[in-house]
Structure 1
Amino acid sequence: MMRKIIHVDMDAFFASVEQHDNPKLRGKPVIVGGLSGRGVVSTCSYEARKYGVHSAMPMYMAKTLCPHGVFLPVRFQRYREVSEKVFDILYSVTDIVEPLSIDEAYLDVTDIDKNPEDIAKEIKEKVYMTTGLTVSAGVSYNKFLAKIASDWNKPDGLMVITEDMVPDILRPLSVSKVYGIGKKSSERLKKIGVEKVDDLLKLSQDELRNIFGKYGKEIYDRIRGIDSRPVETYRETKSIGKETTLKKDTSDVDLLLKYLRGFANIVSSELKSEGLYCRTVTVKIKTSNFIVHTRSRTLNEYIDLPDDIYSVAESIFKEAKIIQPVRLIGLSVSNLSAIKIKQLSLFDLDVKRNLKIDKIVYDVNKKLGGHFVKRGSDM
């Protein structure tokens, strides 16, 4: 039996909540994130995206691109309230829900004797009636294609990808749209003249294995519309992190610390969206001679605030005393737990709906999204 998978993704979630709560902001470029000079954009409205603003961008850069934008702080409690209403709707449809972040999820509706497109329409209508917000939905027979479909007509989109549509849908796409191909892999493929899925389809399975290692077979299948990954009602998150390769090697300590500050904000956002805390902070540095330095510190208590995460990362970075110019810098957190009762629930749903918390005592966890995380991530 061919599966029926739906991917739902709230449109510019944080910014949309702000525009809903304050109608005067509708139609204006709204940018939500850390407002300090070292803050980063959590998400922005579609009006702001027209100016080149995007999530994870340093806030000072967003202000340069869109100086007339409306800049607002993150209100996690409010976003969680709205998210709870959205997920109540999803769980009223099926128990087989895989939350990716605070505003994004997969649903497996294979066993529901109903057209999946009609189910997606009902979800969209209920979300709008309940929250006043729009959600984009994608319907297909696997997770990869459902995600492609939900991105197709944003915002407020609904698309169905059937088996006969796959070649025409996938071939023109950038390889970066393929789940499992990140920025680095995309750049590596570009160097050998592979930029579109159509180019990727010309490579043999062995050639893809040489490029992607053990994941070569998965990529080979995925670009042909094959994806057997199940919708998981619980996915254990072992770590959350962010890293970037710099456009130019640098020894500028202040600049590198700005990156760590931004990463701390992003990681904190993802932790909060999943109701998690961390106890281990890791800083990764690759120098111009391609040597990778990884330093970790495990704390006596759990943290989730950006300032706390950054403080540990800053200390680790300074103690590392890196001499060579840096070409890559990253920050991650691990040793995750929902140890505080007030944070035990991601959406304050009942036990059945809370990612099987009763079975695992919620020792360790996964959105968004995401993104925004990336769930994983807010978006």
Structure 2
Amino acid sequence: MENDAKKQYRKIIHIDMDAFYASVEQRDHPEYRGKALVVGGLPEGRGGVVATASYEARKFGVRSAMPSKKALQLCPHAIFIRPRFAAYKEVSQKIREIFSRYTDLIEPLSLDEAYLDVTEDKLGVGSAIEIAKQIKQAIKDELQLTASAGVSVNKFVAKIASDINKPDGLTFIGPSQIESFMEKLPVEKFHGVGKVTADKMKRMGLHTGADLKQLSEEEMTAAFGKPGRFYYQIVRGIDDRPVQPHRETKSMGAEDTFAYDLTTLDEMHAELDKIAATVVTRLEKYNLKGRTITLKIKYHDFRQITRNQSFAIPVGDMDTITATAKQLLLATQPENMRIRLLGISLSNFGDLPVKTKQDEPSEQLRLDL
């Protein structure tokens, strides 16, 4: 980290709600309090996926994105419930209102986490640590929920810091601490380093930030491509990304994981009709139309593909979305396939050049909520 006493550092807070969906359910339903609670797909039938779990369930190894059947095996006494996204969104808006008392520079990452730039705060508190304490207390007093906060001079370190003392934690990593902290950090803890990349790093003998620091920027980019430059910078505490309060909506859609695999075209078409209806409702709410319609398919073996089609003018009507999704599905030759998930999304909302693209199959398993 640059050792410059005159340097003007930013004051960045990362707020991450603790087991958000599960905590809202335990708050609203006293019978769930103190119990192992799993929010997500139910384990019956083929089973769904865990969205989040209470800390009582996490003690047994239950984690987000885990198949619900495995969660049940790990924690047989767990209570499984489906998510109530409307309720979580309402709470998330109230949390955002608390943030806005201190700053307008708020970058939400999801319903339950956000970055705040409080370099200049509205109330003149001056201390980012004190602001984080006040926000945590307001969330506790007004919403009966707990949040963890990370405070530092950039987004990357603040996000890592918020995860250190969960739940209800507050961790400050100052400028003089950053490099030594990053050197001790295991590579799998670096935000943005997934399991595949972490495994590759370990095979190269790179287990901590200190190991990564031994590689030049050229060696990092040669080994990991474009992200290598980011890893090179972040292990040295360099992250100049601003907090972006008005992140542009890139896409909007909906998807569903089914209780049983779909095996007939009639079943698939029926589900696409339902998903398309949800998409149209969301588009109308935000008065959006898009030029690109994307179909997402996940098969029984978790293999995932996407197919898309672009139009010369923006679309958003039910007929076009449904017909296009079904046409894209048919092009994948779905007969005799077992489909676990279907999703439809629209993108390319701005005045961008029309581009038709067919994505390659992806093996990535991702939970989209």
TM-score (norm 1): 0.69
What's the CA shift string for 1:17-71, capped at 9, x where partnerless? 0111122322211101122534221111111112221112222222222221011
Letter of the 1:7 counterpart: H
> Does the C-alpha gap of structure 1 residues 93 and 284 become closer, same or farther in structure 2, counting only changes over 3 Å?
same
Question: How far off its partner does 1:318 sit?
Answer: 6.7
- Give the structure, 1 or 2, with the largest relative contact order (CA under 8 Å, sep 6 or more): 1
- Check if 1:4 corresponds to 2:11: yes
**What residue number does 2:212 align with?**
200
> Does the C-alpha gap of structure 1 residues 315 and 95 become closer, same or farther in structure 2, counting only changes over 3 Å?
same
State whether residues 180 and 219 of structure 1, in contact with CA within 8 Å, keep that contact through their aligned partners in structure 2: no
**What residue number does 1:296 align with?**
308
State whether residues 7 and 107 of structure 1, in contact with CA within 8 Å, keep that contact through their aligned partners in structure 2: yes
1:1-379 to 2 correspondence within 5 Å?
1-35=8-42, 37=45, 38-112=47-121, 113=124, 114-239=126-251, 280-283=293-296, 295-296=307-308, 301=316, 319-321=331-333, 333-335=345-347
What is the CA–CA distance in structure 2 between the aligned matches of 1:240 and 1:301, rounded to whole Å? Answer: 11
What is the CA–CA distance in structure 1 between the aligned matches of 2:194 and 2:117, rounded to whole Å? Answer: 26
Question: How far off its partner does 1:312 sit?
Answer: 8.8
Q: How many residues matched?
A: 309
**What residue number does 1:344 align with?**
none
What is the CA–CA distance in structure 2 between the aligned matches of 1:162 and 1:60, rounded to whole Å? Answer: 42
What is the CA–CA distance in structure 2 between the aligned matches of 1:111 and 1:117, rounded to whole Å? Answer: 13
Question: How far off its partner does 1:301 sit?
Answer: 4.3
Where 1:281 maps in the other structure, the secondary structure is strand
**What residue number does 2:361 align with?**
none
Letter of the 2:66 counterpart: M
% identity of equivalent residues:
44
Aligned-pair Cα RMSD in Å: 4.0
Where 2:101 maps in the other structure, the secondary structure is helix
> Does the C-alpha gap of structure 1 residues 313 and 186 become closer, same or farther in structure 2, counting only changes over 3 Å?
farther
Letter of the 1:183 counterpart: K
State whether residues 101 and 377 of structure 1, in contact with CA within 8 Å, keep that contact through their aligned partners in structure 2: no
State whether residues 16 and 149 of structure 2, in contact with CA within 8 Å, keep that contact through their aligned partners in structure 1: yes
What is the CA–CA distance in structure 1 between the aligned matches of 2:307 and 2:150, rounded to whole Å? Answer: 41
> Does the C-alpha gap of structure 1 residues 186 and 134 become closer, same or farther in structure 2, counting only changes over 3 Å?
same
Unaligned runs of 5+ in 2: 1-7, 254-260, 264-270, 336-340, 351-365
Letter of the 1:107 counterpart: L
Unaligned runs of 5+ in 1: 242-251, 255-260, 287-291, 324-328, 338-359, 361-373
